[in-house]
Structure 1
């Protein structure tokens, strides 16, 4: 259904550092980049290797604000180890813990996920729903 999502960020370089690390743990990469320090309308895009962007980050400076409660983005992980790596990388790159890796049986018997908040306040999840 969705082609891609775009999020506004206050500092594109800081966001790039965070998302480069966190998404690499899930096998996603920066697929395009338009970073021109000091200029307006900077952006970067992330997606699977060899594919187009599924997530775009747009530099908005002070106008950036995260959506309110109830909104989050869940990224598909290839396995539980990738969920763990996402959580660790996100925290190391400036994110905030919002739920350590583990089973969330109230979502399903094999629902393994971790939750973080990026430096701009966007709520993120990495999830794997397969068997251990």
Structure 2
């Protein structure tokens, strides 16, 4: 997956996700859980390892935990998201709520994020009722 988050600052996002796409309903639905890293290349490098989940099917909702660090200090952040999401794509508004070190600078409070999940490998489908 790759993405871009923009607010007062611009971050690139790259990581791995496991996506589920359900096309049996009238409206397709999708979901993902992922690990990634947000990076801001500015006058000072800032990184944010991230874990999260999101679901979409027109509307998209997500939850993320991020630890932003400049390698001398850091801040743990909780980010809820809401927006649009279809299959491998989402466009969301997110709010970064600092849980620790509320004085940590250089991260967005409000942001817009666009993410695309590239297909690298299709995993075998598993359903509990398919077992012999």
TM-score, normalization by structure 1: 0.29
Could you say which structure has the higher helix fraction?
Answer: 1
> Which structure is larger by alpha-carbon Rg, 1 or 2?
2
TM-score, normalization by structure 2: 0.29
Q: Which has the higher contact order (CA 8 A, sep 6+)?
A: 1
